[in-house]
Structure 1
Amino acid sequence: MMNLEQSTYLVEVDKYKSITKAANNLFVSQSTISMSIAHLEKELNIIIFKRSKTGVTATANGKKIITYAQNILNELKNMNEYAINCSNNLASTIKITSAPTFCNSILIDIVTELLTTTPEIHIDLKENNNEHIIQNIYNGEIDIGIIGHLCDSKDRILNNLDKKSISYEEFYCGNVNLYLNKNHPLLYKNSITLQDLSNYPLVSHQYLLKHWTNPLQLKNLASEFYNYESIKIIIQNSNLIAIMPDIIEINDYSINAGLIVRLSEVELNTKVCYGCIRSLKNDILPAEKKIIDLLKSKCDQIYIP
């Protein structure tokens, strides 16, 4: 009869297609996993994996056995989460991966508050892009994902989610604006035209430029970067103009100190949204609910004039 240890071994080996990688991930020896699986195959009289020099692959019968093993592990996790919910115990480790901009502007305040007021909640916080965050949720590697997207591309994002297993809840929707340094020549003009803008190269985030519809048909898009912190440093020291979401104004020194200024005279008519995704396969833990409630409350209080 297959036990929990063997169930874990089967799922991990199938995930990595390698006994060596599975052993490293589980901090056990390769021989321990090999012997355990061999014993199970003998007991069930079924070949679960085909071995080769390039790794291991599940047989047709093996795939069914692995599915049973995954279901066993899922049910065990659900049972543990149910027990925690019954006791309303906040003590747990919550894994969160967030879009960097949201993390720097909003999420870091939530983490700071929790570390101070609710130390029994341990938070494993990372940053990544939407594609990796969604995949992490699918794989059960994280509990909460915070993704950002242009409002116009919301349907595309939702279509990439399996609505049967992943929920999405929008927290914040703001504007995309033009930003420049405090001494930029455009700030000394009484009015600004599209021709004025065309005299200065525009820079922005790679994701934004990839999905932006460019409603003003600006032609002078110069460079794209993978984080807004680099963009802010660049425009502080040049006459380049940055296209960025207004959420970057929250908790930002360069904005608060007046080193970077929003060009309010020009509206891009573009909005960017941020929301939470989580797996519906598992019941929500009290600690997860507390974090999500804090995020909602924080976002409801945001005011960017």
Structure 2
Amino acid sequence: MTITQLNYVLAIAEHKNFTKAAEKCFVTQPTLSTQIQKLEDELDILIFDRSKKPIELTDVGRKIVHQAKNIVDESERIQDIVDQQKGFIGGEFRLGIIPTVMPTLLPMFLKAFIKKYPKVKLKIEELTTEEIITRINDGHLDAAIAATPLVLESIKERVLYYEPFVGYIPNDHRLKDKKKIDVSDLDINDMLLLEDGHCFRDGVINLCKAFKTHQDDQFQLESGSIETLIKLSNEGLGMTLLPYLNTMDLNEKMSKQLHHFNEPTPAREVSIIYHKNELKMQIIDALHDVISGIIRGAIAFHNVEIISPLSK
């Protein structure tokens, strides 16, 4: 039995197809099939039910895949241990970022990071918090940038910054004359929200939920992007809340629609998160230092109240 064979097993289990698995592993399909057959012969069992379309794992195959993940993950950590010992900061690093952070934060730090650490090959994906947690636990991500606290036993969190919420209020809205707003001014029923699945949406709902609501609104509107929320608000369809970094690139006319909160300012906590057994700590430390250093000049708020991103 070899690590290579176990990698082939995992690839087939993921893609449910020998040809696609071979492409992922950069080998020919006959080579992959031969190695799987050798492994099954050695173990005297069938890992895959080839009569099913797509291919399915047998009962014992599911148990083997679970163990194979652990073995492959641990074998890959040997190189991580060596890199740490040598102080080497390089190699592939898989990073997930939530959609409400990616457009604003990534342009701020990416160029500086790759210039300072040219041997690190960042593979960045935009993913929801739920997808990030699954991929970190499955070993498909090394780390992620997400709103916290998440309070998960398997995942560690290191705070990068606190990002205040800012009201974006159209000229015909009931709060348009207030220079600064209070949390008690908010009404979830005249608020434009991100669609379900975004942790920033859950933060806004958690912020607003304790206050009275009106039940006579004609519609409730949700969107998949903050940019769309701004455009809808400009059409007079309601107010919305923005993460502070999203306000920095607004033009002069749009900036007049911004209303900051009285202190303590509601804010979200943004952290780099990773599995408690993660070994690529030298790259995580590098990311944390670069991002923290850059963001310090952009966000100068201190008296904030952290709003949970967890759906309640």
Structure 2 counterparts to residues 150-165 of structure 1, below 5 A: 154=149, 157-158=150-151, 161=152, 163=153, 165=154
In structure 2, distance between residues paired with 1:7 and 1:189 = 63
- Structure-2 residue corresponding to 1:14: 13
- Structure-2 residue corresponding to 1:205: 194
- Structure-2 residue corresponding to 1:230: 228
- Structure-2 residue corresponding to 1:303: 300
**Letter paired with 1:286:** Q
* Structure 1 residues 131-183: Cα deviation after superposition (integer angstroms, max 9, x where no partner): 1111221222221111226xxxx4xx32xx3x2x3222333334433213579
* Structure 1 residues 8-30: Cα deviation after superposition (integer angstroms, max 9, x where no partner): 11122223343344233324333
> Is the CA contact (8 Å cut-off) linking 1:201 and 1:241 kept in structure 2?
yes
In structure 2, distance between residues paired with 1:47 and 1:239 = 59
- Structure-2 residue corresponding to 1:287: 283
**Letter paired with 1:232:** I
- Structure-1 residue corresponding to 2:306: none
Deviation at 1:87, TM superposition (A): 1.7
In structure 2, distance between residues paired with 1:189 and 1:293 = 38
- Structure-1 residue corresponding to 2:70: 71
Deviation at 1:197, TM superposition (A): 8.1
Higher mean C-alpha deviation, range 2-11 or range 46-55 = 46-55
- Unpaired segments of 5 or more residues in structure 2? 303-312
> Is the CA contact (8 Å cut-off) linking 1:182 and 1:259 kept in structure 2?
no
Q: How many residues align?
A: 290
Percent identical across equivalent pairs? 21
In structure 2, distance between residues paired with 1:295 and 1:135 = 24
> Is the CA contact (8 Å cut-off) linking 1:19 and 1:55 kept in structure 2?
no
**Letter paired with 1:171:** L
> Is the CA contact (8 Å cut-off) linking 1:203 and 1:242 kept in structure 2?
yes
In structure 1, distance between residues paired with 2:265 and 2:88 = 45
> Is the CA contact (8 Å cut-off) linking 1:94 and 1:288 kept in structure 2?
no
Of 163, 167, 170, 1:178 maps to 167
In structure 1, distance between residues paired with 2:179 and 2:91 = 56
Of 206, 211, 218, 1:216 maps to 211
In structure 1, distance between residues paired with 2:9 and 2:271 = 34
**Letter paired with 2:80:** E
**Letter paired with 2:157:** Y
**Letter paired with 2:156:** S
- Structure-2 residue corresponding to 1:120: 119
> Is the CA contact (8 Å cut-off) linking 1:97 and 1:125 kept in structure 2?
yes
In structure 2, distance between residues paired with 1:285 and 1:268 = 34
> Is the CA contact (8 Å cut-off) linking 2:166 and 2:241 kept in structure 1?
yes
Say which SS state the counterpart of residue 100 (structure 2) adopts: helix
Q: CA RMSD in A?
A: 3.5
- Is structure 2 residue 254 aligned with structure 1 residue 259? yes
Deviation at 1:189, TM superposition (A): 6.8
**Letter paired with 1:3:** T
- Unpaired segments of 5 or more residues in structure 1? none
> Is the CA contact (8 Å cut-off) linking 1:78 and 1:283 kept in structure 2?
yes
**Letter paired with 2:211:** L
- Structure-2 residue corresponding to 1:95: 94
In structure 2, distance between residues paired with 1:37 and 1:116 = 42
In structure 1, distance between residues paired with 2:55 and 2:137 = 23
Higher mean C-alpha deviation, range 201-210 or range 273-282 = 201-210
**Letter paired with 2:159:** E
In structure 1, distance between residues paired with 2:32 and 2:249 = 52
* Structure 1 residues 250-304: Cα deviation after superposition (integer angstroms, max 9, x where no partner): xx3216x352332247789754222222123331242222012323444555214
- Structure-1 residue corresponding to 2:307: none
In structure 1, distance between residues paired with 2:79 and 2:32 = 25
> Is the CA contact (8 Å cut-off) linking 2:179 and 2:259 kept in structure 1?
no
**Letter paired with 1:6:** Q
> Is the CA contact (8 Å cut-off) linking 2:159 and 2:271 kept in structure 1?
yes
> Is the CA contact (8 Å cut-off) linking 1:180 and 1:239 kept in structure 2?
no
* Structure 1 residues 185-206: Cα deviation after superposition (integer angstroms, max 9, x where no partner): 8545789899x988x9531222
> Is the CA contact (8 Å cut-off) linking 1:177 and 1:267 kept in structure 2?
no
In structure 2, distance between residues paired with 1:245 and 1:88 = 36
In structure 1, distance between residues paired with 2:136 and 2:261 = 40
Say which SS state the counterpart of residue 101 (structure 2) adopts: helix
- Structure-2 residue corresponding to 1:24: 23
